[in-house]
Structure 1
Amino acid sequence: MKVQDFDFDLPEELIAQSPLKDRESSRLMVIDTLKQEIYDRTFSDIREFLQEGDTLVLNDTRVIPARLLGEKTGSGGKIEFLLLKPTGEDCWEILVKPGRKAKVGATFEFGQGKLKAEVLEITPAGGRIVKFYFKGIFQEILDELGNMPLPPYITETLQDKERYQTVYSKNPGSVAAPTAGLHFTKEIIQELQAKGIRIAYVTLHVGLGTFRPVQVENILDHDMHSEYYEITQETADIINATKEQGGRVISVGTTSTRVLETVGQKGYPIQEESGWTSIFIYPGYRFTVVDGLLTNFHLPKSTLIMLVSAFANRELILKAYNHAINEQYRFFSFGDAMLLLKGAE
């Protein structure tokens, strides 16, 4: 299967540059994967398509303000760090611009010295391992000095940092938001629970690999990125009970899907666990847990559109994307949503 099979032409003006004022006012494309029919709705209509006994699984990760702007100690040369993941006590793997300034042993300062960093090593991928020096609590300093690491296709400044967080985010660690969850309000979640729909949470800390294009021609040759996940016993029990009682498990986002399918491959009943997953889901994959999927519209030739194509089929998804373009849906992180169900009525 070729990467080119997942390509499409997207007008640049359909890339959403800012979030809507009201989270639930975004549009919702509902796809019945059995009938292969498409319905144009608004996100607030999601209540109509979920039933008592269903379980929604949300990713409760929280985006950290991982973009740091500072200067090289002594020379004052400007530097930009993008934190990727912790590697040890006060040590992080980062991306750095410009890289020529960040040789091993080089030191940098942020916030007039409130946070300092030393380059310990250069990674095989060209990143850096740095050690931070500070007084106080690192997360609090990062909240003060850091900026939200918005995707490269968003060029406008985000006025409210919380609009790049889900309303239920609580576990810091992502460098990108699980964007399918951005449409939910606390009120919608409460209304769904009142209707008899169970809400369960997993954690997957989204890494930059989400945005990296597939560089190989054959998708089977792609080296999938790895991301840290956690699933609690409480969530495992909810999913097990849902399956036993004939309900549907509906995953909110590709991130939640990766967690559920990672643990589901090990068989039932699902158990509490944590670790790193590099699961790569593409057409031909057999889903073990997920019965429905809520997702945003993704980049061409990305692993995300491949995952969505695996849940339905490639032809139906490309048809849906073409429909979305014709109907002027908003794309990517701050864009509209798609709900895939096996029987939407």
Structure 2
Amino acid sequence: MTGEDWSIIDAYDYDLPPERIARVPAEPRSSAKLLVGLGVPPQVATVADLGSYLSAGDVVVVNDSKVIPARFHVQRATGGAVEVLLLSPQGATFEALIRPNARVHDGELLYYEASPVFRVLEGTTEESGLRTRRLEVLGDAILAHGEIPLPPYLAGVEIDPERYQTVYANRPGSVAAPTAGLHFDLQLLEDLTRRGIEVVRVELEVGLGTFAPVKDRELAKHTMHAERYRVTADAYDRIRSARRVVAVGTTVVRTLETIAHGGALCGSSQLFIVPGFEFQSVDLILTNFHVPRSTLVALVAAAVGSSWRTLYEYALANDFRFLSLGDAMLIPTGRGASTRPPGTGTPAQEIDE
């Protein structure tokens, strides 16, 4: 990591030509390209080949959170248009981003056609450079009127909502897909099982903590938005007994490392993983190629140091597709040796409801 000033966001910048941003997903899912960064030089494979780089006794951990139809185009009583993006639920209410925010007042109703669907509650939160509001959802607004939210760089893209879910998506709660998992299909899951590689599910509700931009040049000034996670005691026992832990996506990394660094099995994570971080749970990461100057690139740099830039440059030079619908890479975290005795992970904590 010598020569880089990891404390500033500039260290995680790179030139991403717009034409390299994937606008359609690979079909079939596991045919997406995989850059294997486990040695020098890196190898080019497909995600379908993942099992050939793993061994019996490894555990592949996936995030089974399901994307909810969280984007709404509604109106104020005056007729003014408002866009709402629901974030984390807070009991019977939701934290939300509202645009335009300044014109919307506490206590007013927001309408879809002639029906009220949200009530704006008192209270705002300023975090990660974004101002959020609290909304009460009226009736069945989420199921009836919401849209699956896509990232801004996919504006104009039409995609089957089910294709923006993982095949194992189970528990609704995320406002964006855990995109590394979009590469998994039933054939890949069956191949891993045949090889003696177990797939274990955890849950982190993808929200602002994953995709909020870094507004400050100094990373120390950036506050990660809290995202809820849940891991069962049985799942965590299997994870900590694994030969190696393979995290599918940055949300899984943050979930497992939050617990390994003293968190409960159920709670909220604000873990910001940057170079210098000591990985205590995850051995390998399967992840997509991320937006420049993002917390996700910082996480990759925490795993592989300055090699992140070499891998990204290699991917750009070899026709890999980037961001949510793009290709993937497999990288080590440098945690200990390549294998470890079963049962030597952090003991499972009690679930804190």
TM-score (norm: length of structure 1): 0.89
Say if 2:47 is the partner of 1:46. no
Choose from 280, 283, 308 the match for 2:272. 280
Distance 1:83 1:322 in 2: 35
Q: Give runs of aligned pairs for residues 159-308 of structure 1, distance below 5 A.
A: 159-242=159-242, 247-266=243-262, 273-308=265-300
In 1, the alpha carbon distance for the partners of 2:79 and 2:58 equals: 56
Aligned pair 1:128/2:133, yes or no? yes
Counterpart position of 1:339 = 330
Q: More displaced, 170-179 or 207-216?
A: 207-216
Find the aligned partners of 1:238 and 1:48 in 2 and give their Cα distance.
21
Q: 1:85 aligns with which of 71, 83, 88?
A: 88
Q: Secondary structure at the match of 1:305?
A: helix
**Deviation for aligned residue 1:169:** 0.6
- Letter aligned with residue 318 of structure 1: R
Of 18, 33, 45, 1:27 maps to: 33
CA distance in 2: counterparts of 1:116 and 1:221, whole angstroms: 36
State the identity %. Answer: 40
Indicate the residue corresponding to 2:321 in structure 1.
Answer: 330
1:61 is aligned to: 65
Distance 2:159 2:113 in 1: 21
Counterpart position of 2:41: 37
Normalising to structure 2: TM-score of the pair?
0.88
Cα displacement string for residues 141-187 of structure 1 (whole angstroms, at most 9, x for unaligned residues): 42331101101111233331011110001011111111000000012
2:157 paired residue number: 157
Q: Does 1:312 align with 2:318?
A: no
Deviations 1:176-213 (A, max 9, x none): 11100000001211221121001111100011232222
Whether contact under 8 Å (1:176, 1:208) holds in the other structure is no
Q: For residues 216 and 117 of structure 2, what CA distance do their matches in structure 1 show? A: 38
CA distance in 2, matches of 1:188, 1:72: 47
Q: Does the residue aligned with 1:99 lie in a helix, a strand or coil?
A: coil
The DSSP-based 3-state class of the residue aligned with 1:318 is: helix
C-alpha separation in 1, matches of 2:94 and 2:43: 45
- Number of residue pairs matched by the alignment: 325
Say if 1:18 and 1:156, in contact at 8 Å, map to a contact too: no
Following the alignment from structure 1 to structure 2, what is the Cα–Cα distance between the partners of residues 27 and 251?
A: 18
Q: How far apart in 1 are the matches of 2:33 and 2:313?
A: 15
Q: Deviations over 1:251-275 (max 9, x none)?
A: 0000000011011113xxxx97200
Letter in 2 for 1:124: T
Partner SS for 1:116: strand
CA distance in 2, matches of 1:122, 1:36: 52
Q: Judge conservation of contact 1:17–1:155 (CA < 8 Å) in 2.
A: no
Shift of 1:87: 2.0
Partner Cα separation in structure 1 for residue 180 and residue 321 of structure 2: 13
SS in 2 for 1:52: coil
In the superposition, relative to structure 1, how do residues 142 and 297 fare at CA in structure 2: closer, same or farther (>3 Å)? same
Aligned to 2:146: 146
Compute the displacement of 1:111 (Å).
Answer: 5.3
Could you tell me which runs of 5 or more consecutive residues in structure 2 were left unpaired when the two chains were aligned. Answer: 1-6, 339-353
Whole-angstrom CA distance in 2 between matches of 1:225 and 1:283: 19
Task: Give the alignment's Cα RMSD to 1 decimal.
Answer: 1.8
Query: Could you tell me how far apart the structure 2 residues matched to 1:54 and 1:127 are?
Result: 40
Look up the equivalent residue of 1:284 and give its one-letter code. Answer: G
Structure 1 regions of 5+ residues with no counterpart? none
Amino acid at match of 2:151: P
SS of match in other structure, 2:240? helix
Deviating 4+ runs (over 3 angstroms): 341-344
CA distance in 1, matches of 2:177, 2:9: 25
Give 3-state SS (helix, strand or coil) of 2:246's partner: strand
**Aligned in 2, Cα 1:212/1:272: closer, same or farther, shift over 3 Å?**
closer
Distance 2:231 2:117 in 1: 34
Once the two structures are superposed, what CA deviation does each residue of 1:14-40 show, in whole Å capped at 9, x if it has no partner? 0112212321111100001xx443111
2: distance between equivalents of 1:339 and 1:60? 20
